[in-house]
Each structure stands twice: as C-alpha cells, then as structure tokens.
Structure 1
Amino acid sequence: MKFICFFVFMIPLSFNFYLLSLIGYLFMFLAFFLSFNFGSIFSSLGYFLGCDYLSFYMVSLSIWICFLMILASESIYSSKNYFNLFLLVIWFLFFSLFVTFTCMNLFIFYLFFEISLIPTLMLILGWGYQPERIQAGMYMFMYTLMASLPMLIAIFYLNNVFFSLDFFFFFPIDSYFLYFSMNLVFFVKMPMFMVHLWLPKAHVEAPIAGSMILAGVMLKLGGYGLIRLIMVFSFVGFSLNMIISSISLVGGFFVTLICLRQSDIKSLIAYSSVSHMALVLAGILTMNSYGLFGSLVMMVAHGLCSSGLFCLANLSYERVGSRSFFLNKGFMNLLPNLSLWWFLFSSFNMAAPPSFNLLGEIMLINSIVSWGYISIFTLMLMSFFCASYCLYLYSFSQHGKLYSGLYSFHLVNIREYLLLFFHFIPLILLSLSCDLIF
C-alpha cells in the first residue's frame, strides 16, 4: 500500500516534469528493490495486496521498464507530442500492472489484467507510426478480450466451488472445460503459437515505449497467470499439458523459421519473442520446480533483452527513417560503438554466456527434456535457428554497403547509451547472482 501511495503522489509529475518523472520511477525501483522478498508465501500484506518471490521479480521488472520507457521517449518530449498525456498513460499502465502482480484475489487479478490493455491500446493508437496502428490495436484488443471472456465465467464458477477467490484457498479441480476457459487468455497473452498473430502487428505499429512495455512486461502477464493457477489444474495438467507443450515447442521452431525471412527489424524481434515465450510456456506446463524457476528467469531475461533490441531498432529508425533490413545496412561504418551494443544484445538473445538468458534456457531445457525425451529434437532445432536469426539480424544491419539515400545523420547521444546500459547491466548482474534463483 505504501508504494501505491507513493505512486499516487507521482501523478502531478506527469505535467511537464520529464526529469522528475524519471527520478521518481528510479527512486521507486530502489525503494521496492530494497524491500526484497525471498519467501514463497505472500508478505508485506496490504488491503488485498501482497508480494511473494514471483510478484517481486515481476513488479521490479515493471518499474524498471517504465523508467526506461520514459528515458527512451525523449523524441515525444522534444517534439511536444502530447508528452503530459503520454506520461499519464504510462502512469496508468504501471498502476494496473502493479496491482495485477501483487493482488491475492483472482477477480481483482482479472480486472486489472484487462485494464492494462487500455493504456497499451492508447500508446499504440496515440503515438504509433503508421496508419495501420488502428488495425494492430484492434487485433490486440479483440484477441485478448475475446479469449478472456471464458475466464470471467470460470472465475464465477470457482467462486461457487471455493467460496473465495483468494489464491490461498485454491485446490486442484478435475475439469477440462475449466482448464481451457481459464488458461486460454494466458495462452493468447504469452502468446502461444496459433494465437500469436496480434503480437507482431502490435509491435511493428507501436511506438518505442509501446514495444518496450509489450515485450518487457505484457507478455509476462500470461506466464505469471499460468504459474499462479497451475496448482488448480494439476490433475487435468497430466493429460493436457503434453498436447499444449508439444504445440508450443513445434510452433516455437516454426516461428524461428519465420524470423529468418523477415525484412523488418522490429518484426524479427517481435517474432523472436514468440519463440522464447514458447519455451517459457512449455517449461511452466512441465509442472516441476526446474521449469517454474527456469521460466521465471527466462521471462525476466527476455523482458530486458528484447526491450534492449527494440531500443536499438528504434535508434536506427530515428536516423534512417525506415526499419527495413535493405536500408539499415553498414552501420559498423557509421556507428562502430553502437555495433558493440548490437552484438551484445543479439548474442544475449540467442542465450550466449554470460547472459541471464543462458541460465533460463539451461533450466528450461533440463525441465522439458526430463519431461519428455522426444522434445530434445525441437529444442535442438529451436536453439540452432535462434542463433541463425540473431546472426542474421546482426550481420545484415552492421555489415554491407551503406544506404545511398542517407544524406544527414546524427550520432548517438549520452541518453541513448545510458538507455542501452540500463538494459544491459541487470542482465549481467542477475546472471552473476544466479545462486539466488537456484
């Protein structure tokens, strides 16, 4: 509750206080991070809010990404593009995410899960780049909303069974219908292969802040919801999880192939998110502790790494005016120091050591292979093609002949280096302190 009060008092900072908003988010991150919670049970209980290990990671990630979103959106501030409203939308978005991750009641979780869609839609429709953003926004809204309606009915049913919607009082229920109606919205939000089409559209049309929050936090809502409710479906899971995981893993392999034929940088990074979240989904559905912690690590690592890649894509877009691979070429000649950041984030995206992604991937591969040996083939193909598209992303953008239409160019400023540095440092520090996870 003290953080919500802190946050409510930050509303006035949305009115033309760019630097103060940044400092406010940073201060809030430090205050939250220093109240670290190692426990697996809810602590720091407020009215209906509590924080456990899982919530702690997710909320920390949300505050950090919101801080970086404001840092990345300096162009909206300098061009006076309704910046006050933009800060207010980010505030509203973070508030809904904070309550979603810390509430202990399923109905309030559902309510704020849906509310978080509204500011995301406003970001895409209000500050997106192309006219197609309306279609992309409606795609995202309809996919998530249509899938979440069965969950609302399932919540009322659970209330009749448990006589409470607090997570404490849940116990396993043997019902296939309930399994699908509850989890469908999480599969869409992850997104799982076959219900993933809204994600590349939303990413490509969103502004940089929209892409960062989508990749960094919004996809993690699905994983968070699955982890919270996996205990309710522990009976049904033994028969159904195998099918869902298989679709997810094979789909993840197909998506890595789709990545290899993208001509748009943002689109490639968006599709790579789908393949990473396929691993996370399979890891959660194996229902063992290795899979659980592996998926948590992967969600945090992917949130930071993917967000960093979107920032890099945006740096190129602001200078070249296009996101096409055919025009974004030869950046090593112009910005050799930015090539280092491209290399670091591309290699972290394919889980090269010493990245946090590697830790997550090792745990997930252990978990999935111990659950079914045959899955080693899809994991092998996914790892190989993941490395292939990361190499494709790096080599295509950094090498080659410069685009002849470039007639003016500005170098990277301190703010942009700081932005990349703040994405990179948590990844390294978390991988060095991996004993906390284990």
Structure 2
Amino acid sequence: MMMGLFFYILFLTPICFFCCPLLIQYSFYMIFIIVLFKNYDFFFCGLSYFFGLDCFSYWLIILTFYVTCLMYLCCMSYSLSLMFSYLLFVNYSLCFLLYLVFCSLNYLMMYMFFEFSLVPLFIIIVGWGYQPDRLSSGLYLFFYTLFASLPLFIFLVYLYLFFGSLFFDYFFGLSSSFVVHFITVFAFMVKLPLFMFHFWLPKAHVYSPIFGSMILAGILLKIGGYGVIRFMFMYEYIFYNYSYIWYSLSLFGSLLVSLICLIQGDMKCLIAYSSVAHMGLSLMGLLSMSKVGLVGSYFMIIGHGLCSSGLFCLSNICYERFLSRSFFLNKGLIGFMPSVSFFWFFFCCFNMSCPPSLNFFSEIYILISMLMFWWSSCFYFFLISFLSAFFSFYLFCFSNHGIFHNSYSFSFVTLREYLLMFSHFVPIIYIIMVIDYIF
C-alpha cells in the first residue's frame, strides 16, 4: 500500500514541468481519497519496505496531501511567472518528503527525511519570498533546525551501532540520563517550536510567500509534535522523570507569547506568534503522559494546521489588495470585502477555540490532562485561553472594523480564493461529526 503510493507520487514528477497545477492538484486529491478510505488500526498497517501507517501518522498524511492541494490552488496566482514549473516542482518535492517523514518506520529514516524537507522550504523562502530579509530568515530556519538536530543524528548512529536496529517498536533498554532525554527532544522542540527556541518562526513566516506559510504552519510545525510522540515511546521512563522541565517552559512560554501577540502590528507576525502559543498547549498535553492529553494534542495539531493555514490565506488576500499587512492600513475590511469578513470571523473564532471547531474539543482534552498532571496549571490554562481569545478578537476587530478610504461596499475576491477559504473551513467542523469513527 505505502510503497504503491510512493511510486505513484514519484512518477508524477514530470507533470510539474508541464506547468499544469490543476493536473497535479487532481492527482493529489486522488491520493488523498485513497488514503482517506484506507483502513488503519492502532498498530502498523500497510507495511512495505520500511514504510507503514498507524493511528499517529494516518491523519497527518491526510493533512499533508490536503494542504498540498490547497497550496497548488494558491500557486495559480503565480502562473505567469517564468519560474512557475520550478515552483510546482519544489512544492511537489516538499510534499513528497513530508509523506516519507510520516510513513517511515525507522527513526533514522524519519530524521533523514525530516532534514531533507528543510531544503525545499529554504528554496521557497529565498526564491519566492518578500523583501531582501528573506535571505536572513531562510538562514535562521535552516541553521536553527540543523544545529538542534545534529546531536540527535549522532545519538541515532550510536543506538544503531549498539542495538543493531532503529525501528519504532524496538526495545532500546531503560535509561535515566537527562542528556539522552535532551538530545532526543531538543530537535523537535525547535521545530515545534517551544518558547525560547521560536525566534526563527516569525521571520520565516513574514518573509515567505503564502504557500510557504501554509505548508510551514499546516504541516512542518506538526513534525515537532509527531517526533515527540515517536520518541516518547522510545524512552518513556525518561519522559516521565523530566517532562516537568518542558511542561513548565511551555506553560510560561504560551502565556508570554500570548501577551506578545497583543503588541504586534503585522498580521502575519500575530498569526505566527499565535502558532507558538497553541503549539505550547499541544506540547503540554503530550507531556502529561496520558491518553487524554495525547488525543487532545493530536486534535490540536490537526485543527491548528487547518485554522492557521486559513488565517495566513486571509492575510494574503488583504496583502494582495493593500500591498501591506499592517493593522494600521488594513482597516474597514467589512465594508471593502464583506463576504471575506465572514471567513475572518469564523477563523478568528476557531483560533480562540470556540465550538463547534476541532480546536475547542482539543483544548478540553488538554485541560483535563493538565489537571491530571498538575492541578494548579488550570489557572495558567484559563489565562492563556483568555489571552488567546483576546488576540484573536484583536486580529478581527482591527482588520475588519474602522474607517476605509472607499465609501461604498463591493466584493473584490476571486472564486479561487473563496474555494480556498471554504476548503479550510469545512474540515475543521466536519471532523467533529466523525470523531467517534476516528477514536
């Protein structure tokens, strides 16, 4: 099954150079439907040559193909570019590498594809990003991740030499060393990103093109949570002993980043910092070492991947009209584009975890797991949740209300952009309807 999909995606490569994004998009939709109707169990299935599928990777693979389809929908605005075929190929390569990350059954292969995925993203930011500062933002992204993950590579080589295997279900003995715990977790904390290791994220988002921000917020940040889940099963005892360190840091970081969101003057910066706050909550659910926390974190990963990507698309719609993402210039959008204000309202509500969104259920699960881990953390959670609602409300009101320079109302949005926003909107609610089927 998985090797068949591997060759299916691999042989789609020549289509990229025919400059036909619709054909590639339909092909990825076909893969999306094939994987969606694939039966999976709580153990690995679809096994073939180091590739497989389980309940942790299943929905992330679906999310990868779905966000990639939406990326190609965004790429159509670049169709007049001379480098359009290379743009399609780079996006295709990034999706292919992300598929391999989530399908790998081996720690070393997962690490290898996880590092390779940085190369297409670096090319996207440097090649199609905004302003000359995109060069420094690309280097921030590249070297932050490279520096953090090099000790992990050395540790994996050591494990292979000592145990002779790096498969997920292998027993690597018991250890109580904090150094081992730090090495296995640090690379994914930077990728998540955890507070204090997040400085590359706002720069990468602000200077990357819209499809780069979509794949970065929708999928690449989720590799951090996925990696923590995988390595948690390698040494559970170490996580049980030392998880309070990362738990305290993410608790304090989510609170502080929520305050930082309130002083932002750029739409993309605020959405990027909100990703740090939400990923901190997701990490707290994982570190509680409970099934409730794991399910809640997984829901937040999926819900945030769609919601954050949709918010970046909305900010790009405003940027293409105003040539600015500043709150001081983007005023009165409810009179300029009233139909888009509907999506602004709902995505800001989903970002603050209002029902009936998937984010709402994820925060309830995470709150329960936090109470099980440390009862007093509920006060911090309520404060983080309140500030999250505060900056989401701030984002909606500052951009949609106020005085616009035109005195009449009209809709200046293309059908492609409506389809893009609707495609982000529907799954966040639909997954709630089939939640009993999922778990």
Superposition TM-score tier, normalisation by shorter sequence: over 0.9
**TM-score, normalized by length of structure 2?**
0.96
Asked if 2 retains the 8 angstrom alpha-carbon contact of 1:124 and 1:206, the reply is yes
CA–CA distance in 2 between the matches of 1:66 and 1:54? 19
CA RMSD of aligned residues (A): 1.5
Secondary structure of 2:264's counterpart equals coil
Q: Which residue of 2 aligns with 1:197?
A: 199
CA–CA distance in 2 between the matches of 1:82 and 1:13? 15
CA–CA distance in 2 between the matches of 1:57 and 1:101? 10
Q: Which residue of 1 aligns with 2:81?
A: 80
Deviates more, 1:246-255 or 1:67-76: 67-76
Q: Which residue of 1 aligns with 2:436?
A: 435
After superposition, residues 171-186 of structure 1 pair within 5 angstroms as: 171=172, 172-186=174-188
1:273-321 Cα distance to aligned partner (Å, 9 max, x none): 0000001111111111111111111000000000000000000000110
Q: Which residue of 2 aligns with 1:327?
A: 329
CA–CA distance in 1 between the matches of 2:61 and 2:210? 21
Deviates more, 1:172-181 or 1:193-202: 172-181
1:155-180 Cα distance to aligned partner (Å, 9 max, x none): 02222343211111134432211111
Q: Which residue of 2 aligns with 1:116?
A: 117
CA–CA distance in 2 between the matches of 1:306 and 1:202? 15
Letter in 2 for 1:272: S
Q: CA deviation at 1:403?
A: 4.5
Q: Which residue of 2 aligns with 1:295?
A: 297
Q: CA deviation at 1:59?
A: 0.6
Asked if 1 retains the 8 angstrom alpha-carbon contact of 2:339 and 2:411, the reply is no
After superposition, residues 30-429 of structure 1 pair within 5 angstroms as: 30-37=33-40, 39-77=41-79, 79-171=80-172, 172-403=174-405, 411-429=412-430
Unaligned runs of 5+ in 1: none
Asked if 1 retains the 8 angstrom alpha-carbon contact of 2:337 and 2:411, the reply is no
Unaligned runs of 5+ in 2: none
Q: Which residue of 2 aligns with 1:18?
A: 21
Asked if 1 retains the 8 angstrom alpha-carbon contact of 2:336 and 2:411, the reply is no
Q: CA deviation at 1:416?
A: 0.5
CA–CA distance in 2 between the matches of 1:14 and 1:163? 40
**TM-score, normalized by length of structure 1?**
0.97
1:9-64 Cα distance to aligned partner (Å, 9 max, x none): 21122121121111111111111111131x12111011110000111111100000
- % of aligned pairs identical? 44
CA–CA distance in 2 between the matches of 1:330 and 1:36? 48
Q: How many residue pairs are counted as aligned between the two chains?
A: 434
Q: CA deviation at 1:428?
A: 0.9
- After the TM superposition, list the runs of 4 or more consecutive aligned residues in structure 1 that deviate by more than 4 angstroms: none
CA–CA distance in 1 between the matches of 2:310 and 2:254? 21
Asked if 2 retains the 8 angstrom alpha-carbon contact of 1:293 and 1:437, the reply is no
Asked if 2 retains the 8 angstrom alpha-carbon contact of 1:327 and 1:403, the reply is no
CA–CA distance in 1 between the matches of 2:236 and 2:113? 25
Secondary structure of 1:73's counterpart equals helix
Letter in 1 for 2:272: A
Secondary structure of 1:44's counterpart equals strand
CA–CA distance in 1 between the matches of 2:68 and 2:405? 34
CA–CA distance in 2 between the matches of 1:384 and 1:267? 19
Q: 1:161 to 1:31 in 2, by over 3 A?
A: same
Asked if 2 retains the 8 angstrom alpha-carbon contact of 1:252 and 1:279, the reply is yes
Letter in 2 for 1:225: G
Secondary structure of 2:52's counterpart equals coil
Deviates more, 1:211-220 or 1:279-288: 279-288
Asked if 2 retains the 8 angstrom alpha-carbon contact of 1:290 and 1:363, the reply is yes
1:98-134 Cα distance to aligned partner (Å, 9 max, x none): 1110110111111000000000101100100111000
Q: CA deviation at 1:368?
A: 1.1
